[in-house]
Structure 1
Amino acid sequence: MSPDDPLLSILACPLDKGPLTLPPGQEVLYNPRLQLRYPIVDGIPQLLPSSGSRVSPEEHERYVGSSDG
């Protein structure tokens, strides 16, 4: 999946239904509001609520900072 993939514009977090971001160079979709990441396995986003994992404050800053540019 790439940042310009049209699928990214319709994917939503299964918990808050908000948009997800794709941090550059990562195989995850990220919800900055809940600080949860969802893995992308073999090109398929794993968007079950149980698939989300909380990130550390440092990782959050890295994900948010990488999408600001």
Structure 2
Amino acid sequence: MNPDDALLRLLACPLDKGPLVRPAGLDVLYNPRLQLSYPIVDGIPQLLPASGSKVSADDHERYLRTTTG
């Protein structure tokens, strides 16, 4: 999944149904509202609620600075 992929605009967080962003250089989709990251494995986003990982405040700031999409 490329950061410019049109699919990224269609994907939503399974918990709050809001949009996700892709931090540059990372294989994750990120929900900044809940501070959850979802892995992308072999190009496939893992968007099950249990797949979300809480990120630290430092990672949250870093993800927002490097966000694409």
TM-score range, shorter chain: over 0.9
Q: Which runs of 5+ in 1 are unaligned?
A: none
Runs of 4+ in 1 over 2 A off after TM superposition: none
- Per-residue deviation, residues 3-52 of structure 1 (Å, max 9, x unmatched): 11010010000000000001000000000000000000000000000000
| TM score, norm. by length of structure 1 | 0.95
More strand by share: 2
Aligned residues with identical type, % of pairs:
71
Greater relative contact order (Cα 8 A, min sep 6): structure 1 or 2? 2
Aligned residues: 68
| RMSD, aligned α-carbons | 1.1
